[in-house]
Amino acid sequence: MKVSTRKCTFTFTSHFLESPIRNANFFCRNPAVGFACKKQPSESFSYGQGLLDKIWNSKELSKTDYNDVVQEGVYNLIDGGATDPFGIATALASGAREVFCVNAIDEIAKVDVHFTSPLNRIGPLKPLDLFQPLDEKIASDRDTVELELNSAGSVKKVQFETIKVKTVKNDFFGIEAGREVTLHVFSALHKDLETFDMVSGNVESFGELGEYIEDIMMILSSDDNKVTVDKMLNALKNSQ
C-alpha cells in the first residue's frame, strides 16, 4: 500500500542508502501505520496499530491475533514509493502477493523505478530493485484506465492500473525471487504543482492542495467513473 512519499537525496553515503531497515531503526520510526477497516472510525487506527504492535513485539504469530487481523480487516499503511522502497518492499517482505499503491508523483519515476534496470545495480540504488525487468510483455499486459476528469480544474490526470509482475531476490528486505505479484497503482497528477511543493510543507501551496484533494474526491465520486472505482475498491478489499 502506498501513501505519501519520503524525499531521498544522494548526499547520504552509499552505506546509509544500502541499509534501509537500519535507517528506520536508527530514527526509531516504524514506516507503517496500522488501520482496521472494519472497526468504527473512532477505533480504526488505535485498534489496528495496537494489534500490529502486539504482533511485532511477539516472538510468534498466534492464531488469535491472526484471526483478529482477518476479522477486523487490519492493513498496514506504509510510507514509501518512487523515491524509497519502504512501501512496496515492506509489503513484499511480509509475504504479500497483491499490493495496492497510491502514487501522487507521476512526473518523477513512479512505481517503474522498482523494476530491475542497469541503474538499480549501482550500490546506493540496489534496495529499489524489487521486480523482474519491465519488458514488452509486462508493458503490453498493463491494464490501465484513465478516469474522467469532468470539471476538475486542478487535476491533470487520474488513472488506475494493474500490473502482473515477478519479484527478484532482494537481500535488504529478505524477498525471494520468482514470486508472482499483482500490483495495483492509483495515480494522480496536479496540473501545476511540482512534487516538492506537495511533500515539503510549503505553506503557500496548502490552499492549492485542498482544491486538489477536493477535485480528486469529485472525480472518484462521479458516476462516470463508478466502474473503475468499484474495481479499485475490490482490489483493496481482496488484496492479500
| DSSP state string for 57-125 | TSSS--HHHHHHHHHHTEEEEE--SSS-SHHHHHHHHTT-SEEEEEE--TTTTTGGGGB--GGGGSGGG
Axis-axis angle for helices 41-56, 63-72 (nearest 10): 150
Own/partner long-range contacts of 197-203 (Cβ < 8 Å, ≥24 apart): 198/104, 198/105, 199/4, 199/5, 199/6, 199/7, 200/7
Write down the pLDDT at residue 17.
36
Write down the pLDDT at residue 94.
83
- Using 70 as the pLDDT threshold, list the residues of the chain that sit under it: 1-32, 79-85, 104-110, 118-124, 195-205, 238-240
Write down the pLDDT at residue 11.
26
Write down the pLDDT at residue 20.
43
Of all helices (H) and strands (E), which one includes residue 183?
strand 180-190
The pTM assigned to this predicted structure is 0.69
Write down the pLDDT at residue 182.
92
CA 169 – CA 92 distance, rounded (Å) = 11
Let me know the angle formed at the C-alpha of 100 by 128 and 223, rounded to the nearest 5 degrees: 140
Task: Delimit the domains of the chain by residue range.
Answer: 14-31+79-235
CA 207 and chain centroid, separation: 25
pLDDT (tens digit, 9 = 90+) per residue, 27-76?
444 556 888 888 888 898 899 999 988 888 887 889 999 899 889 988 77
CA 168 – CA 126 distance, rounded (Å) = 11
Write down the pLDDT at residue 79.
65
CA 127 – CA 17 distance, rounded (Å) = 8
Write down the pLDDT at residue 111.
77
Contact 188, 104 (CB under 8 A): yes
